[in-house]
Amino acid sequence: MRILTSKHKVLINWWHRNAEGERENPTSFVHEWIFDGGIKVDASPSPFVMPLQAKEEAIDPEEAFIAAIASCHMMTFLTVAEKQRFSVESYADEAIGTLGKLENGRTAVTDVVLKPKIVFSGGNQPTPELLAKMHKLAHKHCFIANSVTTNITVESD
């Protein structure tokens, strides 16, 4: 049996200067993520966690983590739906993550709630019970969900 492996690379850049080339005080933690396709994204700490070092418009690691979980679940769900011969017209998810304390006192994204709104096209519509099973199967096979200890729940219509 062949085990699937792949490597994924992201470049993270940070400079101790602002746009005018002056030293920041307090130190800004705004930085840049560059993905393998060349897409550049401004990133910073969450304004909730580090307001003086954050940039409101930038993506923070907590948001990226939640987006990765939601995106992986969606892609896996769409694969499950296709294999069961359901046609999905649209899928939207307003995922919510909670930053909290673990039993050991460390801070972590402890919970992520996925709230997918799925529209199926055609006459073949899953029952609520089958839809729940499809989400359970998607969760089981989601690479990101399998990689984290965060409690992930799905609240589907």
CATH topology of domain 61-154: GMP Synthetase; Chain A, domain 3 (3.30.300)
Domain boundaries, the chain: 10-53, 61-154
Chain-centre distance of CA 105, in angstroms?
24
Pairwise CA distance, residues 102 & 83, whole Å = 38
Question: Structure tokens of 53?
Answer: 């070092």
The pair of three-digit structure tokens given for residue 30, joined into one six-digit string: 């705004």
122, 151, 154: which is closest to 137 by C-alpha?
A: 154
d(CA 142, CA 71): 9
- The pLDDT tens digits along the chain (157 residues) read 667 788 989 999 998 766 666 665 567 889 999 999 999 999 999 988 888 888 899 999 999 999 999 999 999 999 999 999 999 999 999 999 999 999 999 999 999 999 999 999 988 899 999 999 999 999 999 999 999 999 999 998 7
pTM metric for this prediction? 0.89
- In angstroms, rounded to a whole number, what is the distance separating the alpha carbons of residues 148 and 89? 30
pLDDT value of position 51: 84
